[in-house]
Amino acid sequence: MTQFFNKFYKNQSQLYKIILLAFTTIFIVFIFPKSGRFKYDFEKGKPWQSENLYAPFNFAIEKSSEEILKEENNIKSNATYYFNLNDSVKKQVEKKLATELDLVISDTLEYPKRRLIRNSSKELLEQIYKVGFLDQDINLPNSTKSVLLISNEEVLNTNYGSLFVQDSLNNTISNFINTTNVKEFKSEISNVIYNSILPNLTYNESLTNKVIEENLDKISPTRGSVEKQTLIISKGEVVEGEKYKVLKSLEAQYESQIWTTYNYYWIVFAYTLLVALALLMLLLFLKKYRYDIYLNNTKVTFIFFNIFIMVLLTTLIINYNSKYIYVIPITILPLVIKAFFDARLGLFTHVITILLLGSIVPNSYEYMFLQIIAGIVTILTVSELYKRANLFISVGQITLVYVIAYFAFYVIHEGSIENLEFENFVLFVLCGLATLFVQPIIYIYEKLFGLVSDVSLLELSDTNTKLLKRLSNEAPGTFHHSLNVANLAEACANEIGANAMLVRVGALYHDIGKINNPTYFTENQSSGLNPHDELSPKESAKIIIDHTLKGIEIAKKYNLPERVIDFIRTHHGTSVVYYFYSKEKVSDPEVDINLFRYPGPIPFSKETAILMMCDSVEAASKSLSNPTTPKFNEFVEKIVEKQLSEGQFLNSNITLKEIQLIKKVLKAKLANIYHLRIEYPE
């Protein structure tokens, strides 16, 4: 059991990466669309670029939204309207009419005329109720529209224009009187009708709408069908008209058909293979070319997290409306990776992410081409991200590349620019503006993952920071030494293409451990007294060696990033405090040299190796008397060769050529610092 746990402990880092790979794959596959994807890209009015296409299965031709809308409008415009007919109203009105006639007709009026008025009024009323009197005009656009009158006894079919309504009652009475011989009694007849008449028709809106909805539900979303193995379109044929509709139907039904459980699991399995393979390639890249990052699980998690976020954002936009896909600022990914690691890893991560997205986005070839080109431009143009002007210029260049590449694709497809969609250019501009948010995103990532970017390094390089202020006040000689080392290291880093900002910051903080006992270090001994005179060589060596451990403690107390603390750990490597070792050896020839050796580790990057060389050379240069150029050359060669022979640079991935360039810079810089000046007259 103990052996098992020991083996588990030794391989826990590898196990974590396997679990991380598995969970990232699961999350990405989970948010991916699970339907089958139509493997052909096509656009209306453009040639079919693929091979001859035959129907893979029987499918129906879907109607376009315009066709369905036209059918809906046709049903609504030809719909039958329903009215409720109240048969009892007519009898009520007839009784009321008799009463009104008795009140209106004067007894002095001759009998024939009284009878004429009565008969005419009853005839007019009969004429109105024969068709029906509506309580309100519902303003149907077509007066000849068919309507149904529903009563307890029967259902009558008529047209809307024949119904009488309140607004047209006056015209009805006038027309009736003008066709009879009762013109002189128009006023009496009108009063009788107006006082007696009541509507016997009521619009049944609920029934009408119910019938319309039932007819709308009967609209078929398809028209006709295509049999399996039927030729749909030939290679080179223009996609338009009926062929375009058939292709859209095939695409829609292929991607939205209800998959069986068997098919669904196959699709999920296939997506899992693709995603896992892409992420595995990223892990293998890290293991082969960025092994220090591969060993750091936090950094690996950070990279995978960024990939997942980009896939998630893109999937959400595709589900909402795929035409806005270019609003997603994908180039933030290589920017962030480059800011924390390097350009090569940033580009590789960007390409892996684009390959993942290529399986779900429309027009995948065009999308992948645009995004990969934009990623390359991002890596090549964005440098010194902490300078705001550089970021704005780079974002402008990225946006311009998007516009140019999209324009080229459009002309290739269309053959002209007549129908160029300028709103897509607006999307590219919005994408560029969104990319500017990379600065606050980097800040958030620094806090979440404990990483450090060039922006933070720039802040740490300010000599007015609390820790450097303390160093300058309590150990001014060490502070001056650190400034000189920083200048030398920065020049060397620029010469070989290393991270100059990182090595400068590392140099500024590498000796902060001397704050605890500043007078035990010669650069701070201004009074001429040396406290080591009262100590044994072993005690003195321990104080000197401990400044690296004390420095690490102070750095953590002030929350310095791990990348900066690495310079404190490694700037002496496993070298020996040779002065006190030689002194002790006089009295004890058998003394253990390891008592005078720094605990290490040795430098494990180009930057930490540069600091070791510059620190040793700058500190030892103070001991030179009557410095000359030959002395500097010999002096630098001796120190660096000694470090090489001790194997201090074995883990730093630095080449002999680069070491030669560093020695050249150190010789030139020291010659400039200690150049002879002319003697000024008193």
Digit-coded pLDDT (tens) for 464-512 = 889 999 999 998 989 999 999 999 999 999 999 888 888 999 999 999 9
What is the per-residue pLDDT for 641?
A: 92
Per the confidence metrics, is the pTM higher than 0.85?
no
User: Which domains are assigned to the chain?
Assistant: 16-36+262-432 (no CATH), 74-215 (no CATH), 454-524+534-673 (1.10.3210.10)
Average pLDDT, the chain: 80
- What pLDDT shows up at residue 122? 76
Which residue, among 382, 58, 371, 398, has the nearest Cα to 228 in the 3D structure?
58
List the structure tokens of 277. Answer: 């393979």
DSSP state of 681: P
User: In the structure, what pLDDT confidence band is assigned to residue 246 with cuts at 50, 70 and 90?
Assistant: confident
* Distance (Å, whole) CA 364 – CA 516: 61
Band (pLDDT 50/70/90 cuts) for residue 678 is very low
All residues at 6 or more sequence positions from 119 whose CB lies less than 8 Å from its CB, including other chains: none
| CA proximity to 287, closest of 272, 305, 301, 300 | 300
Contact 301, 20 (CB under 8 A): yes
pLDDT for 614 equals: 93
Residue that wins the pLDDT comparison between 195 and 372:
372
Query: Once rounded to an integer, what is the mean pLDDT over residues 407-421?
Result: 72
pLDDT at 268: 83
The pLDDT value given to residue 9: 56
CA–CA separation, 338 and 167 (whole Å): 79
**Can you give the pLDDT at residue 658?**
92
Residue 127, pLDDT > 50, answer yes
| pLDDT > 60? residue 286 | yes
Lowest-pLDDT range of 126-140, 322-336, 576-590: 126-140
Tens of pLDDT, residue by residue over 604-652, are 889 999 999 999 888 888 776 676 777 778 888 999 999 999 999 988 8
pLDDT given at position 443 = 82
Task: Compute the average pLDDT of residues 103-127.
Answer: 68
- pLDDT over 80 (residue 97): no
Asked whether the beta carbons of 442 and 455 are under 8 A apart, the reply is: yes
Residue of 403 and 304 predicted with greater confidence: 304
Provide the token pair at 548. 């690296």
d(CA 131, CA 119): 19
Asked whether residue 514 carries a pLDDT value surpassing 50, the answer given is yes
pLDDT at 670: 82
Residue that wins the pLDDT comparison between 208 and 305: 305
pLDDT in tens, 340-381: 888 899 999 999 999 998 878 877 788 888 889 888 888 887
pLDDT in tens, 419-461: 677 777 888 888 888 888 888 888 888 878 878 877 788 888 8
Give the model's pLDDT for residue 587: 81
SS (H, E, C) 310-374: HHHHHHHHHHHHHHHHHHCCCCHHHHHHHHHCCHHHHHHHHHHHHHHHCCCCCCHHHHHHHHHHH
Lowest mean pLDDT among 3-12, 498-507, 546-555: 3-12
How many Å apart are CA 504 and CA 607, to the nearest integer?
9
Q: What is the pLDDT of residue 388?
A: 64
